[in-house]
Amino acid sequence: MKKTAFFIFTKSIGLYINLLSFVFPKKASQLAYAFFSEPREGKLSKDKLPGILQEAKSEMFQLQEDSFHTYTWKGNDTVILLVHGWESNASRWENLLPYLKKSGSTIIAIDGPAHGLSSGKEFNIPQYAEFIHVAVQKFKPQYLIGHSIGGKTCLYYQSVYQNDALKKMVILGAPSDFKIILNNYITLLSLNTKISKSLEAHYLNNFKLSLEQFSGKIFASKLNIKGLIAHDIDDTVVLFEEGKKIAGAWKNVIFIETKGLGHSMHDDELYKKVSHFLFEEK
């Protein structure tokens, strides 16, 4: 029943956008982009913060018209920055934190655009990377860990900013080809060619990258730091092949295949391997 209702809902939205495109094409394009880029989950309120975030020191940073939040669990001079994914927030790292804290490190988690306590309605990778850049300048992390689209943002960040102070990066369940994500959305709503072309044009005009260039494997090919990629073979949100694409392009990377973890990838054994990679492996 839920699947049928969801099918009818998505196709109804697509039909409305398609019809609107013949009368008000600009409005239709804006609406299609809004449905694609605006998360419907992951926001937090200050008076109802998850317990794990209440334990941390929260800070707000201003970046032009936008603001974003970070959460700090203070430790020693070794700093790790955590970057969550779509429709999530900094609290998603709760299961990993104990393994990182054992090292004594200072841990920073960030809320992405339109997620957690950060401002805005729209999420996009270039803006998320700008948030990371501001946080990096403030906290000077040596290690970066990203999950899902947050992992891809880490790849984009390092390929653009080339931060020499970073020593290692961990990417969990991240997508490579943005075109696949966009095409899945277009198929889900059955959007017409006019709308699909306008969405592609939006990314080219606003982010100066074609969909083919907006690729995790291309970003990874520009990295010199050591990396670890983990991807679950049963991931139905971001297919396993996406992780393999990124790993195949990264010069200095370890690839871990997991099974039965799904997209969230919360697992004690995996987190032990992540900790070993960061703090014990040369």
Report pLDDT digits (tens) over 220-233. 999 999 999 999 99
Radius of gyration over every alpha carbon of the chain, rounded to an integer in angstroms: 19
pLDDT digits (tens, 9 = 90+) for 113-150: 999 999 999 999 999 999 999 999 999 999 999 999 99
Tokens of 43: 């926001």
Q: Domains of the chain (ranges plus CATH)?
A: 1-37+179-209 (no CATH), 50-177+215-279 (3.40.50.1820)
Model confidence at 1: pLDDT above 70: no
> What is the spatial distance between Cα 231 and Cα 241, in angstroms, rounded to a whole number?
9
pLDDT value, residue 209: 77
Report which of 149, 27, 34 is spatially closest to residue 85, judged by C-alpha positions: 149
User: Quick one: pLDDT at residue 56?
Assistant: 97
What distance in Å separates the CA atoms of residue 96 and residue 123, rounded to the nearest whole number?
24
- Confidence grade of residue 4 (pLDDT, cut at 50, 70, 90): confident
* pLDDT tens-digit map of 153-203: 999 999 999 999 999 999 999 999 988 889 889 998 999 999 999 998 988
Angle 25-37/2-23 helices, nearest 10 degrees? 150
Which pair of tokens denotes residue 81? 């920055």
In 45-96, where do the E strands start and end?
A: 57-63, 66-73, 79-83
Name the nearest CA neighbour of 151 among 274, 4, 15: 274
Q: How confident is the model at residue 207 (pLDDT cuts 50, 70, 90)?
A: confident
DSSP characters over 124-136: -HHHHHHHHHHHH
Question: What residue type is assigned to position 222 of the chain?
Answer: K
Task: Note the pLDDT of residue 206.
Answer: 84
Question: Are 158 and 74 in contact, with CB atoms under 8 Å apart?
Answer: no
Which pLDDT belongs to residue 205?
87
> What does the block give as tokens for 63?
């970046």
Residue 2: pLDDT band (50, 70, 90) is low
Q: Is the dihedral of CA 249, 253, 256, 262 positive or negative?
A: negative
Supply 28's token pair. 């239709």
* Side chain identity, residue 211: L
Of the candidate ranges 8-12, 47-51, 251-255, 271-275, the one whose mean pLDDT is the lowest: 8-12
Residue 255 and residue 171 in contact, taking contact as beta carbons nearer than 8 Å: no
DSSP state of 105: -
Q: How far apart are CA 169 and CA 234, in angstroms?
A: 23
76-116 tens-digit pLDDT: 999 999 999 999 999 999 999 999 999 999 999 999 999 99
Instruction: Return mean pLDDT, the chain.
Output: 93
What is the model's pLDDT at position 52?
97
Residue 211: predicted pLDDT? 82
| C-alpha span between 231 and 239 (Å, rounded) | 8
